[in-house]
Amino acid sequence: MVGLAAILCTGVQAQEIQVTPFYTDFFDTLYSSTLNGALMPAGTIIEAFDPDGILCGRKAVITAGGFGFMPVYGDDGETPGVDEGAVANDTITFKINGRLATVVTGDPIWNDLSGQNVQLSATSTVAITGITLPGAQVVAPGATITIPVEVRNDGDGLDFYSVNLSMSQPGGTGVNDWEAFEPDSFVYADPNEIVTVYFSIRAPLWAVDTLNVVSYSVYSNLDTTQKVESTVDIYRTITDVEDPSDPDGLPASFTVHQNYPNPFNPSTTIAFDLPTASTVRFEVYDILGRQVEGRELGMLGTGPHEIEFSGYNLSSGVYFYRVVTQSYAQSRKMILMK
């Protein structure tokens, strides 16, 4: 939920209001003002103008359909040549998110230090288009990554956006959980303006699974059916503790190490240790268990060895590599990310 501070601190770019000692409070305490036939949502911006088009009042909606006391400032007679706002008996014009509003009930007449209860109504076309969507991301264990989504307001009025997130991995707040962070304030966009909406994902410190598919929806708060939806693959890098060697510097056991780099594109290095000389075979399988590479490495001596693997002709995804000797076999998972 977006709170009052978040609504008021979004930095909506607009004409400055000249504050004077003279004002009329306009408000809708019946919570009945509408945009496109529905109650104005929290975050909607109400603006007031004098007959000369001078912006002299602005208010953010906190509770759907209504707005509290909005001072609409009047002209200051002690500053001749400067038009700060309304004068007595001026008819005030209102806009809702930049769209001209109709005064359904109430009196829009300005009179200093009075209060006017008005019900407003306006219509607006709402549309959003994705411009630049994020590709696959890599995050270190325990780290948080911030992901941008660039969208354009294709409507005819001011719009403001929020984000919904869901993950393929279970979420939580512990150090070993994936955690999603939705933005805690609205992102405003004028018509045809391109803005960037951000969300963040924290990776677990330790986990078996290294891939988290995050589904996101950047949606309009004016019409939640208007949205940009997609997914982004978040790969947690894999750390590996290697087996110790014996005092002579030779491997104490058969070990297949995690490939490096991982994720990779298109090539990666796989290291393995042989405690005794042996014939060796190298194999790679896709997520469905189909073998995509098999290579006989021949007779190799005791000690550390490396092999280069290229996924140039393969699609992005999870693969399993396997090193097989006369006495041992060991598999590990790797991620090809193009």
pLDDT digits (tens, 9 = 90+) for 228-237: 999 999 987 7
Query: Which residues, 6 or more positions from 80, have their beta carbon under 8 angstroms from its beta carbon?
Result: none
From the number of C-beta atoms within 10 Å of its C-beta (0-12, 13-18, 19+), residue 308 rates as exposed
Q: Is the pLDDT of residue 164 over 90?
A: yes
Distance CA 224, CA 331 (A): 46
What's the pLDDT score for residue 210? 75
Give yes or no for a contact between 139 and 168, defined as CB atoms under 8 angstroms apart: no
Asked if pLDDT for residue 2 goes beyond 60, the answer is no
- Predicted local confidence at residue 141, as pLDDT: 79
Distance CA 211, CA 248 (A): 38
Assess whether pLDDT exceeds 90 at residue 66: yes
- Rounded mean pLDDT of 225-244? 74
Statement: residue 249 has pLDDT above 80: no
Q: Flag whether the pTM goes above 0.75.
A: no
* pLDDT surpassing 60 at residue 176: yes
Taking residues 311-315, report their average pLDDT.
Answer: 92
The CA R_g of the chain, rounded to the nearest whole Å, is 31
Residue type, 292: V
Confidence of residue 313 (pLDDT cuts 50, 70, 90): very high
Looking at per-residue pLDDT, the higher value among 206 and 285 belongs to: 285
246 pLDDT more than 50: no
pLDDT at 187 exceeding the cut of 50: yes
Q: What is the pLDDT of residue 250?
A: 57
* Amino acid 33: pLDDT: 97
What is the predicted pLDDT for the residue at 75?
A: 93
For residue 235, give Cα distances in angstroms to 138, 142, 217, 319. Answer: 5, 12, 20, 13
Is residue 244 very low, low, confident or very high in pLDDT (cuts 50, 70, 90)?
very low
Q: Which amino acid is at 32?
A: S
SS3 5: helix
Q: How confident is the model at residue 251 (pLDDT cuts 50, 70, 90)?
A: low
- Among 99, 106, 124, smallest CA distance to 32 is for 106
Token digits for 8? 């008021």
